[in-house]
Structure 1
Amino acid sequence: MSKGSFPKWCLLNLAPPAAAFVIRMLGRLMRLETVGGEVPRSFVERGEYPILAFWHDQLLLMVLGYTGPGSKILISASKDGELIARVMHRFGMGAVRGSSNRGGRAAFRELVALGKESVDLVVTPDGPKGPRHQVKDGVVQLARLTGRGVVPMAFACSRGHRFASWDRFLLPYPFCRGVFAFGPPLYHAEGESVEQFRARIQEAMKENLERAESRLTSYGLSAV
């Protein structure tokens, strides 16, 4: 192993198990609950598979909020994406690698093909580089071509740190209260334009995040 490759090897092989450990410990040290959990359960009961959509800044704990029968998450082809993919693998989630500026078309074709398989599809509609909390056309076209329902998923917590990144990535603090929320599925309607469907998903994502934040408010807490 060359001198320059050793740090990279350490990063790719030691960081993922450490990150997975942190995620699991955070889950055990937080007071977590779920709003709208009947939505993903209904898909399991019907033997159907949704497209789960959540904002990029909420990525860290989402593996604790949904434990369906299997999933494939779209992750960028960057070095950071490789780390995330390895962490997700430790929670039983597969990865489809690609983004708008690197391997995006091939990744999208793979997702469409997976739409015929018995796996959930998971996307961050504003990733990998934003704009923050703005739905791009990828999830719209994926739902249109596969016929699957888009299920908004959100996470909010009472205490945590927001990083100075484009998405203001959220790191929850131990011992805080956290809420996962699921919204009703959205299906592409016959004759509906891409922009009309995108606007519906955008509004549903907004409402679902507010649903999670409202649960915190009911406890006299505010979301980070």
Structure 2
Amino acid sequence: MKELRRNILNRLSPQIAWLIYILLCFFRLTMRIRVVGLEIMKEFVKSGEGFIGIFWHGRLLMIPFVYPGKRMNVLIGTHRDGQLIADVMKCFGFGLVRGSSSKGGAAALREMKKLLAEGDDIAITPDGPRGPAEVAKIGVAQSARVSGRPVVPVAFSSSHSWRGTSWDKMLIPKPFSKGVFVIGAPLRYCEGEDLEVFRLRIETALKETTAQADCFFTETQQ
């Protein structure tokens, strides 16, 4: 029975993805959104130097709207829920890289290195696909090291939202609320740096960027 449900969901995935895409576009149209640090991302897009954008899995719903370029590729896990996320990303016009730390990681790393060398950009949820939440896996640090490209932390928050009950506590903005994207300073791998040290730098930077987004409306109202 589980296998039957899974097959049905896989067949319906493109149609469900379009419904999710339309719903997200509705949310975006009703919201008043500020972007902090957009010039950082725009500069990389203008220069043609590929970058690795990172954001927590629980904040991914609205992130596609902040990207100012046309050459984004999203790393999506090969788990069964990944197909729906992949189909939603295709609705935004993004390319896909399939793989995760547990399956297909080496091939995904090679593909990301190639895309970044060609000037494309990559999006990664470093705590995906299954957590633990807001703990960066080593893969994003490896990607930055082998490609020589910068890691750019990105976060989204809203003045009013729902939170999911899954492991990532997905943030779902309420229509007509205020939203904010915060883009943090880029991080680069330092030659000879221990990979775990670099991973911790990435994790800390993304946590700080996310905290800045979450505090945005509290600070602006004071």
Q: Same fold (TM over 0.5)?
A: yes
Offset, 1:10: 5.4
Identity of aligned residues (%): 42
Q: Please list the CA deviations of residues 159-178 of structure 1 after superposition, one character each: whole Å capped at 9, or x if unmatched.
A: 11111111111111101111
What pairs with 1:4-83 in structure 2 (closer than 5 Å)? 7-8=8-9, 11-83=12-84
1:27-73 alpha-carbon deviations (Å, 9 max, x no partner)? 00111110111110111232212100000000111111213231111
What do you get for the CA RMSD once the two structures are aligned? 1.8
SS of corresponding position for 1:18:
helix
Q: After superposition, where does 1:1-224 map in structure 2 within 5 Å?
A: 7-8=8-9, 11-220=12-221
Residue range with higher mean Cα deviation, 156-165 or 109-118: 109-118
Structure 1 position 91, deviation (Å):
0.8
**Whole-Å Cα distance in 1 between the matches of residues 7 and 152 of structure 2?**
41
- How far off is 1:6 after superposition? 8.2
State the SS of the aligned residue for 1:202.
helix
- Structure 1 residue 102, shift from structure 2 partner: 2.5
Q: Name stretches of at least 5 consecutive residues in structure 1 with no aligned partner.
A: none
Does the CA contact (< 8 Å) of 2:52 and 2:149 recur in 1? yes
Q: TM-score, normalised by structure 2?
A: 0.92
Deviations for 1:109-137, whole angstroms, at most 9, x for unmatched residues?
22122221221011001111111111110
CA distance in 2, matches of 1:77, 1:188: 27
Measure the CA separation in 2 of the matches of 1:130 and 1:90. Answer: 25
The one-letter amino acid of 2:184's match is G
Gaps of 5+ in 2: none
SS in 2 for 1:115: helix
